[in-house]
Amino acid sequence: MCGSIFAGAIEAHAESLKSALARAYRENPDLNQSRASVRVQDEEAPKALAGKRPKASIQATAGWQVGAIKIPAGRSATGQRQSVDDAFSSYPRGATLAVSQTLFDGGRTESAFRQAESNVFAARSTLRLTEQAVLQNGAAAYMNVLRDAAIRNLRKNNISVLEQQLRVTADRFGVGAVTQTDVAQAQASLAQARSQLYGAEAQLKTSVAAYRQIIGDEPRRLEPGRSVEPLLPKSQNQAIDIALAEHPGVTAALHQVDAAEQAVKTAESALSPTLSVGAQLTNQRDAVLGVPGTRQFAGAVIGQLNVPLYQGGAEYASIRQAKEQLGQVRLNADLQRDSVRASVVSSYGLLETAKASLTSWRAAEKAAETALIGVRDEAKAGARTTLDVLNAQQALLNARAAIVVTQRDLVVASYAVLGSIGRLSADTLDLDVTIYDPSLHYDQVKTQWFGVETPDGR
């Protein structure tokens, strides 16, 4: 295909399809957002592990208090009741250190962690889906620009040919070899060609905008795109087997099934007893009845066993709900398998159609070139009309435009097949990038006990 994109704006550095996809892999906002989403999901694992980690807190109090005390002091010599009265003000203050540790929670923490981990794996598969979509869309955007630029150039060349045809027809009309009708037909064809050029330029601008959105930069001098057929399995049946095992849509669904199974266990743990132990140290001043100068220090170690008997039925509803959600995600896994299988068959069909069409259109182009030469020679001898020449020229133009379109379809279809089996990735395409590894962030935060900064320092 034509590698020139903008006449008069050609740059020395040529962009290849692989370099464009490498830029998209690094800079595409959809892909970066999906990576951030995986990092968000990673934090669910340490949150789940917190259920069996110790908890500690300090509570401090301080205030001002006034009071009065009346203490009975017996009776006087005359038999009257006597008392000792006193008024005071104090500043009660104190602090309590409490530490607790869950010893048994019915397996809730373990199930919650496994559920979180399965959701992390599902998020990574979803990230792979986004990566595939970005790379496939990037390849389509690249080839669309090439296609539309080539068609724009064909339309330009066609105008030059039709202008020459109009001059020849006008000269022949001047000597009486043709009629005014022939001139009008040549003029009409030229006007239509100019209109088609305007449409081609508008379509090219649209494709350039889509390229900029996906790749992240304006297209400059694009090299011809190449099919990735050498990376595809040898047969469609082999591709289906690979897709059912490796496609990120399938693996994401299976990880969601694992997460739903753990969610059932987490819900069932609400019916299990829990056992915990706690320690508490308390130091208070002026706190005993608010009397100034008093001081209290206490320490305690307490074990607590909680056996749920009936909590209103909410836990039973949660268990039933979790089981229904498990059934739902299992059905979704079956749906994903069927969808992937259909996608492989469909994409292979498009690829084979594009290959066959390209062969046919190349034969049509060769025949149209021969026909045009013959029609022009016959027109000079008076055996053909101007309209015959214009029709032959249009047939050749249509064949060349169809070749351009089919070349684009062939490359895009090959990327679609690679994506349908789940192997469209920066690693498979051997892009010049540092491969993003989502497990690095997960390993950094999974067992982290303290800290508010993210691993990258934010």
263-309 residue pLDDT tens = 999 999 989 999 999 999 998 887 665 667 778 888 899 999 999 88
212-247 residue pLDDT tens = 999 988 898 899 989 999 999 989 999 999 999 999
- Asked if pLDDT for residue 7 goes beyond 60, the answer is no
Q: Would you say 46 and 444 are in contact if contact means Cβ atoms under 8 Å apart?
A: no
Q: d(Cα 175, Cα 325) in Å, to the nearest integer?
A: 86
Q: Would you say 256 and 118 are in contact if contact means Cβ atoms under 8 Å apart?
A: yes
Question: Mapping DSSP to helix (H, G, I), strand (E, B) and coil, where does residue 96 land?
Answer: strand
pLDDT at 2: 42
List Cα–Cα distances, 401 to 67, 117, 226, 362, in angstroms: 99, 52, 18, 11
CB neighbours of 53 closer than 8 A, spacing ≥ 6? 449
Min mean pLDDT across 168-177, 319-328, 433-442 is at 168-177
Q: d(Cα 65, Cα 99) in Å, to the nearest integer?
A: 29
332-391 residue pLDDT tens = 999 999 999 999 999 999 999 999 999 999 999 999 999 989 988 888 877 888 888 888
Q: Would you say 131 and 425 are in contact if contact means Cβ atoms under 8 Å apart?
A: yes
Mean pLDDT, rounded, for 62-72? 80
Question: Mapping DSSP to helix (H, G, I), strand (E, B) and coil, where does residue 73 land?
Answer: strand
- Asked if pLDDT for residue 78 goes beyond 90, the answer is no
Please give the residue that has the higher pLDDT: either 7 or 187.
187
Q: d(Cα 40, Cα 256) in Å, to the nearest integer?
A: 17
15-60 residue pLDDT tens = 899 999 999 999 999 999 999 999 999 998 998 988 889 999 999 9
Domain ranges of the chain: 14-52+107-271+314-445
pLDDT more than 70, % of the chain: 96
**pLDDT-derived band of residue 8, with 50, 70 and 90 as boundaries?**
very low
How is residue 22 written in tokens? 């490498």
User: How much is the pTM?
Assistant: 0.83
Closest CA to 165 of 401, 392, 386: 386
Q: Would you say 1 and 408 are in contact if contact means Cβ atoms under 8 Å apart?
A: yes
Overall fold of domain 14-52+107-271+314-445: Outer membrane efflux proteins (OEP) (1.20.1600)
- Tokens 């026909």 locate to 371
- Asked if pLDDT for residue 185 goes beyond 90, the answer is no
